[in-house]
Structure 1
Amino acid sequence: MHGRPYFHKISELPQQFAVFPLPRVLLLPGSNLPLNIFEPRYLAMVDDALKTGRAFAMIQPHEKQPGGVPTGPNGLDRPALYDVGCLGRLISFQETGDGRYHILLQGVARFRIRQELAVTTLYRQVIADFSEFEGDLSPAQSGEIDRAALLQDFKRYLEHRQLSTDWKAVENTPTEDIVNSLAMNCPFEASEKQALLEAADLKARATILTALIRMASAGPGEPPDATLQ
Structure 2
Amino acid sequence: MSDFPRIIPLFPLPNLVLFPGIKVPLHIFEPRYKEMVTDASAGDGLIGMILLKGEWQQDYVTQESYHAYPDIFEVGCAGRIEELVQLPEGRFNVVLQGISEFRVKHEMRERSYRQAEVEWCPVAHEALDCDSETLEGLREVLFSYFGAPAQEAWRALVEERGFHGAELINFLSFHLDVTPLEKQTILEAFAGRADCLIDVLSFKLEERKLGPAGTGGGPDSVQ
TM bucket (normalised to shorter chain) is: 0.7 to 0.9
What corresponds to 2:123 in structure 1? 136
Residue 183 (str. 1) matches residue 173 (str. 2): yes
**Aligned runs of 1:50-65 on 2, under 5 Å?**
50-64=41-55
SS at match of 2:19: coil
Structure 2 Cα separation of the partners of residues 96 and 140 of structure 1? 40
**Aligned mates of 1:32, 1:103 — CA distance in 2:** 10
> Could you say which structure has the larger radius of gyration?
2
Regions of 4+ moved over 6 Å = 70-74
Give yes or no for contact 1:183–1:196 (8 Å, CA) kept in 2: yes
1:78 and 1:177, CA in 2 relative to 1: closer, same or farther beyond 3 A? same
Distance 1:124 1:185, change over 3 A: same
Q: Is the 8 A contact 2:142 2:150 kept in 1?
A: no
- Do the aligned residues in 1 keep the contact of 2:25 with 2:94 (CA within 8 Å)? yes
Shift of 1:165: 4.9
The answer on 1:169 being equivalent to 2:159 is: no
Uncovered stretches (5+) of structure 2, i.e. residues with no partner: 215-223
Counterpart check, 1:105 vs 2:96: yes
Number of residue pairs matched by the alignment:
206
Q: Which of 46, 58, 68 is 2:37 aligned to?
A: 46
Does residue 1:198 correspond to 2:188, yes or no?
A: yes
Residue 139 of structure 1: how far off its partner (Å): 4.9
2:200 equivalent to 1:212: yes
State yes or no: 1:13 paired with 2:4: yes
Structure 1 pair 138–193 and aligned structure 2 pair: CA distance change class (3 A) = closer
Please say if residues 20 and 56 of structure 1, whose CA atoms lie closer than 8 Å, have aligned partners that are also in contact.
yes
- Unmatched 5+ residue regions in structure 1? 1-9, 224-229
Q: Evaluate the alpha carbon distance shift between residue 105 and residue 165 of structure 1 in structure 2; reply closer, same or farther with a 3 A threshold.
A: farther
Identity %: 28
RMSD: 3.1
Report the CA distance shift for 1:173/1:102 in structure 2 as closer, same or farther (over 3 A).
farther
Report the CA distance between 1:83 and its aligned residue.
1.2
Task: Compare 110-119 and 12-21 and name the one that shifted more.
Answer: 110-119
Q: What is the Cα deviation at residue 65 of structure 1?
A: 5.2
Over 3 Å counting, the alpha-carbon distance change for 1:77 and 1:187 in structure 2 is farther
> 1 or 2, which has the higher helix percentage?
2
Q: Give deviations 1:8-27, integer Å, cap 9, x for gaps.
A: xx111101111000123111
CA distance in 1, matches of 2:50, 2:37: 15
Separation of aligned partners in 1, 2:2 and 2:50: 21
* Corresponding letter in the other structure for 1:210: I
Deviation at 1:167, TM superposition (A): 4.5
Within 5 Å, which residues of 2 pair with 1:112-131?
112-119=103-110, 121-130=111-120
Length-normalised TM-score, structure 1:
0.75
